[in-house]
Every structure is written in structure tokens, then in C-alpha cells.
Amino acid sequence: MYFGNGYSASARRRYAAVDTGSRIEGANPHQLVKVLFDELLYAIDAAILSDKTGDRAKCADKQARALSILHALESSLDFDKGGQLAVGLAQIYREARRLIVAGLQGRSAGEMHEARDMINEIAEAWTAIG
């Protein structure tokens, strides 16, 4: 049975929400941060793709999601226990936010690619220690 593109896009969003929700339930703090990294990389990838296809509204929406996740990651840092590592991560998160905003303002995916590369390196390291 064919329901059209709107239905399939809506269904994909619901399945993605269920997938994310199931990964969050019962997750320890390390796994929760991994979910944030996964969702952040997905948001940046979707913003880059939306920019490439000319869908400015979706691009802006995904960039806003990425900025929100970066803020959540920075807010979760424990500067007392993390010391210089936490400071370094905060600086990286801020630079990634700056690049994403620059990409939004300049309508350029180049900055978003830079932000993605920075975050991907941290996400891979986080996965390796987990």
C-alpha cells in the first residue's frame, strides 16, 4: 500500500525516536554521552545534506539541534573532576558551535564539515574508552 512521501518521512521519524528512546532507557552515563555524540553527528550530517539539496529550513532545524546537543555536552562537563580535560573539551564544543553558526550564516557546509570532523574525533575516542 502506498501512503506517499509524507507518511514514510513521518514513520522514519517515529522509528528514530523509538530507537533513541530505547538506547536511553537503562543506559549508564557513559552510554548517554555516546547517544548524544551519535545524535550530534546525525544532526550535523543531516544539516550538511539539507544544505546540499537546498532545503534551508531543514538545514537550520538540524543546525539548531546540533547546537543544542553541543550545549548539553558542555553543560555536563565536571570542571572540578575533569580539570584541563574538561576545559579542553569545553573549548572544542564552543569552537564546533562557532563553526556551525558560521555555516548557517554563510550558507556554507565547509564549516559544518570542520565541526563534524572535530566532534567525530572525540566521539571515536569516547567509544574506544567505553
Return all residues near 94 (Cβ < 8 A) that are at least 6 apart: 74
Amino acid found at 98: R
Question: What radius of gyration do the chain's Cα atoms show?
Answer: 16
Give the model confidence (pLDDT) of 80-126 as tens digits.
Answer: 999 999 999 999 999 999 999 998 887 778 899 999 999 999 999 99
Mean model confidence pLDDT for the chain: 85
Whether 42 contacts 124, CB under 8 Å: no
Between CA 61 and CA 106 the distance in angstroms is 16
What are the φ/ψ torsions at residue 77 (nearest 5 degrees)? -70, 140
